[in-house]
Structures are given as structure tokens and as C-alpha cells.
Structure 1
Amino acid sequence: MSRGPADERRGSSVRPITERTLRVTLRTQDGVFIDAAHEPGNSPGGDLVIVLAHGFTGDLERPHVRRAASVFAQYAGVVTFSFRGHGRSGGRSTVGDREVLDLAAAVEWARSLGYARVVTVGFSMGGSVVLRHAALHRGRTEARTDAVVAVSAPARWFYRGTAPMRRLHWVVTRPTGRMVGRLGLGTRIHPHDWDPIPLSPVESVPLIAPTPLLIVHGDRDPYFPVDHPRMLAEAASAQGAGAELWLEDGMGHAEHAAGDALLARIGEWARGAAQ
């Protein structure tokens, strides 16, 4: 995966999980155990939390996830977790399908900690998950979110239009690829096809309103070209809901490419959107 502009990365620091962090194991609705952590943050107020959903092959201990959490902690409390099949979490990855249950468990835990406002921020696969989660968990449920940020998210399933996505499909769909995923990428992948095929991100977007939605995408994303974020924004507008779209000059893909300055802007947006 590519990285963002070098000037955005200068001065970046990655904080490890510290003694202030609460580390727990959550249980999802379908019985999978999920590794999660909470950092109280350095922002006054204390009623806002950002729940960070990482990309495929990430986990809550990866340096790029820790860096994003460190920046977000300047604006809110932060909950990080590892999707199923990633890191210390149980189960096997379904590459964006049942991961909605993992995010729901993390949001419910965040609310149990006393936070009144929850913003979900997802990167790549996590971006598709936060969109579907917001569409499926509306109303007064404890799993609801108050604002959504999708960074480098796909608009549609089964996209193979770029070389990185063709390689990813090989990893996910072939036995040899799944072995590479497990041994080389530290990601355990479910061997079965989706049945049924889950609601796509672009189908989910119109269902999110009136929850505030921010779509962030790089114009040099090697995985998903800019027609993906534009499709998502247009899907929101077609239903009269609308979404804020940030197309970032020179940015590549997901957490690796999101510089500290961009993460800080997302933190500011989250603080204002979840009023």
C-alpha cells in the first residue's frame, strides 16, 4: 500500500499502547471474541469517542493504527479494535461482511464507558464497514453512531480494476492466497463465498441520513480510483441526504497514506459533526 506526501509525515510519532489504555475482549453477536482497547484522550469535554476501524490486514497494535489513534486522542476518547481474523481477535476475516458485528460490539462498549457521542472512522475495508454499520444500526440502539467517516472506502464489491485489487482477490479467494494471508500478512481469512452478498457501500449510503457523513479519498489511491468516492457522494445526494467529500491531493491509500494533518482535520470534523 502506498503512503501519503512526505511533508505530512514529518514529525509524526507513533505512541504505543500505554498504561492509560484499557484492554478488553469483546464478544460479538455471533460469538466471536474481539480484541479492543480504549484510550481516554486529551480533549476537554469527555463525552465524545472515536471508534477506529482499521483496514484489511491491520490490527489495533499496528504502527499506522496507533498513530491515527494518537492523533484522534487530541480530540476525543478513542476505541481501537482488531477485526475478526486479525491480530489477537478470534474468528476469520469475511473481508467486510460480518465485520459489521465487530464494529457494533466496539460501539456498544464505547457507550458503556459513558460516552454520549460516538463517531466511527473506517479505513479501506473498515471504511466499507462503517458505512454498512451506520445503515444497519439506526434509531435508538446502543450500537448506533452519531457521525461517520469513511477513508479510502470502496463503493462497490468485487472491484478488480487495479493491480493491487487483483492481488487482494487472489489472496482472499485462493487456498494458496489465504495461506499467504495467514503466514505472511497475519490475517486469517474465511474460505467460503458470501452468502448472501451483503449490502454494498453505495447501497448503504442513502440509508445513513440524517447521520452526518464524511467521505475522504486520495487522488493517487492505487486500490480504488476516485470514481469510488464520487459514487458514494452521489448516492447520498440522490436521496437528498448529502455527504461531505474530501478528495486529497497526492494521497495514496488508507491509514498508511493519511498524514497527521489530515487525521487532525478528521478529528476536528468529528468533534463538530457529532453535536
Structure 2
Amino acid sequence: MGRHNKKTDSHIRRNSVIALSGLIPIGLVTAANSAGAVSDMTFVNAASAETAAAPLETPATQEPQAQILPVADLASAVAEPAPLAPVQATPPLPASMAEGALGIPSVSVAAYQNAERILAVENPTCNMQWTMLAGIGRVESGHAHDGKDADALGNLFEPVIGLPLNGSLPGQAVIMDTDGGALDGDTVYDRAVGPMQFIPSTWTQYAGDGNGDGISDPQNLFDSALTTGKYLCDGGLNMQDLTQAAKAIHRYNNSAAYVANVLAWTAGYSTGIIPAASDLPRIH
């Protein structure tokens, strides 16, 4: 991930990349706190088998009759699968998800909440909240440009590919091609891909299948939201701890201003209060 500019000709621009190793201390972070949802696993006890009655004596001239023994209900002996964790209740968003300063397209909300449910089962100690994923999505691509770039299944109409990471912009690192152009179409330099703007090598490491179709596609909202959550949670970080959450976001983009923006929007989606301009420093 990296700093980004406005999208031009269906492409999102950014001028810095993910810091994959090492964390730079953060000087200024906007506070935002939210509790995690925890799933309860319910087990169903098997019914005990009944004891069969002794067979009746039969006359010598008659063949013994086969005895039918009662059988325990096998279905009750199988534990039910753990239910998906409920999404934490948050204040209602605008009637039209795509309207207002806090508006989010309904398909994006579904993708973020789906990722929260999956992570609550796969990595419950992370305490990932969908509102944090929404904060990332807001800053990275404006929720795929207010949903205009995606269909109802979360597939982008056109791939979102960033500029080549060739160091031509201020503060931009140079990252040579790592995927043979498979994800970004560039065999010389890497480019950030998808609405959550992943560098190909990072996507390959954390790729998730959010919509369960057997494919991990950075150009799909459900897959990219889950992959974002997996990356933020890596290393045993707990999103309920503000310091750890800030470290995770800082790792996503090596910028204190970026961290402040994401946390401000996270708090906004958690409380229904629009962030103040002072909470949204410019990301260079």
C-alpha cells in the first residue's frame, strides 16, 4: 500500500509503498476505539443409546425372530458448526449508503462486514472491526469511487492499477517487478492493484477469498477487504488496542498522516460523527 493521488483514467495513483519490514514510530495518531465481536461455539451432546430389551423365549418349533435394537440418533451426535460472529452494531449510516459524508455503497459495506465475520472465526484475537476496513477503503479509493467502479458482486468494471513504482514521484520507492506482470500488467516495475491498493508481492502473501468462489482477486471488493484484514492482523496484532491498530495501519502505509486519516474515518463510521478537517491531515 502507499500514498495515493486521485484516480485518472480509471487508475488510482499513489506515491509511496508498503513498508514491509520495520515500523517507524508514530508521532500523531487520531484516537479511535471499537470493541471486537466474539463468536460462541455451541456443541450438541449425543443422545445416549437405549438398552435393548432381552429377547422373548420362543417355542422349539418356531424359528427365533430377529430382534430390532433401538439406535441412537446419529445426527444429534454431530456438533453444529460454529456460527459466524455477529457484526457489532453501529449507528445507522445515511438512508442511501452512497450519500453524505459518511456514505458507503451497500456492496462495500457487505464486503467489509463479511471480512469482519470471517476474521472473527479465523483470527478472533485480532478483533477486527468492519469500520476499520471501511476507513482503509475510504482513504485508498473512496470505496471504489462510491461504488461506481463495481457491480453488485463486488467485481470492478475495470481493473484499478496504480502508477509504476519507479521512484519518479517524491517519496516513492522503487520496486522492481515481482509477479511477472500477472496482477499489474507491468513486467518492469510493480504497481499497486485493486480498490485497496496492494503491491503484487504483498497480495500474493496474504491473498484471501472473501466471496468463496475459489479465486483471490485483488479487483474484487470482498477478496480485497478480507486480504486487507489479514494483513492488518498479521503478527498477532489486536485492533482493539489503539497502539497496535495504529502500528498495523502504519505498516499498510508508511505515513503518520495516513494513519490519522484512517483512524478518523474509522471513528466516524463507528460513531456516526463526521471527522473534523483537523483530524484529516493532508497525505503527501
TM-score band, normalised by the shorter chain? under 0.3
Larger radius of gyration: 2
Q: Report which of the two has the higher share of strand.
A: 1
Whose RCO is larger (CA < 8 A, sep 6+)? Answer: 2
TM-score by length of 1: 0.26
